[in-house]
Amino acid sequence: MKFRYTLEVLTIIAIVVFSVIFLYTSSTMSGTKFTGTDTAGSQGIAELSGTPLENFQPLIPQWKPPGTEIESCLFALQAAIGGIIVGVVFGFWIGSGKKA
């Protein structure tokens, strides 16, 4: 009998393996903050240029989300926009497949 879900299983294994490695790494790095690469990159620029981070000012004025909760909410909104489009199209394809 042919196994149909090889790709699904491989995807789950990859996610589980990297999650375990992540949990192990984060547990061995107690006290360090899990910064994003964008922030780490900005710190690298500050080090290389010898200019403190706060001296880098936007060339074009920029609106910033007033808090991390709002930022997370807006990221979720972005994902939701994509999710709605994907859901509608997959639904349309499944529906038109059944109709046919």
Interface pattern 23-62 for another protein (x via CB under 8 A): --xx--x--x-xxxxx-xxx-xx--xx------xxxxx-x
CA end-to-end distance (rounded Å), the chain: 29
Indicate whether 4 belongs to the interface with another protein (CB under 8 A). Answer: yes
Residues with Cβ within 8 Å of 74's Cβ and at least 6 positions away in sequence, in order, are 65
Q: Is 7 in the site for another protein (CB under 8 A)?
A: yes
d(CA 75, CA 26): 24
Candidate residues 27, 30, 68, 78; the one interacting with another protein per rule CB under 8 A: 78
Taking the C-alpha atoms of residue 4 and residue 22, their distance in angstroms, rounded to an integer, is 29
Place of tokens 């709605």: 84
Residue 1 sits in the site that holds another protein (CB under 8 A): no
- Residue 46's CB is within 10 A of a number of other CB atoms, namely 15
Binding site for another protein (CB under 8 A): 2, 4, 7-8, 10-11, 14-15, 18, 21-22, 25-26, 29, 32, 34-38, 40-42, 44-45, 48-49, 56-60, 62-65, 71, 74-76, 78-79, 81-86, 88-90, 92-94, 97
